[in-house]
Amino acid sequence: MRQSLKTIPDRPSPEISRRRLLYGALATTALAFTLPQLARQAGASGFEARLAELGVSLPDIPEPVANYVPYRVVDGFVYCAGQIPFRDGELIHPGKVPTEVSVEDAQTAARQCAINLIATLKAACDGNLDRVRQCMRLQGFVASADDFTQQSTVMNGASDFMVEVFGEVGRHTRLAVGVNTLPLNACVEVSGVFAIN
- What is the pLDDT averaged over residues 159-178? 97
Instruction: Quote the pLDDT of residue 15.
Output: 58
Does the structure show a pLDDT above 50 at 34?
A: no
From 113, 46, 119, select the one nearest 85 (Cα to Cα). 113
Rounded to whole angstroms, the Cα distance separating 130 from 38 reads 13
pLDDT at 31: 37
d(CA 187, CA 16): 73
The residue length of the chain stands at 197
Query: What residue type is 179 in one-letter code?
Result: V
Domain encompassing residue 91: 71-196
Q: Is residue 17 part of a domain?
A: no
Q: Hey, how many other C-beta atoms are within 10 angstroms of the C-beta on 171? A: 14
Query: How far is it, in rounded angstroms, from Cα 36 to Cα 190?
Result: 35
pLDDT, one tens digit per residue, over 110-146 is 999 999 999 999 999 999 999 999 999 999 999 999 9
Residue 106's domain is classified under what CATH number? 3.30.1330.40
Which pTM does this prediction carry? Answer: 0.77
How many independent structural domains does the chain possess?
A: 1
Domain membership of residue 54 (yes or no) is: no
Q: Give a yes or no: residue 92 inside a domain.
A: yes
At residue 173, does pLDDT exceed 90?
yes
Compute the distance between CA of residue 155 and CA of residue 136 in angstroms, rounded to an integer: 15
Residue (of 57, 69, 40, 46) closest to 165 by Cα position: 46
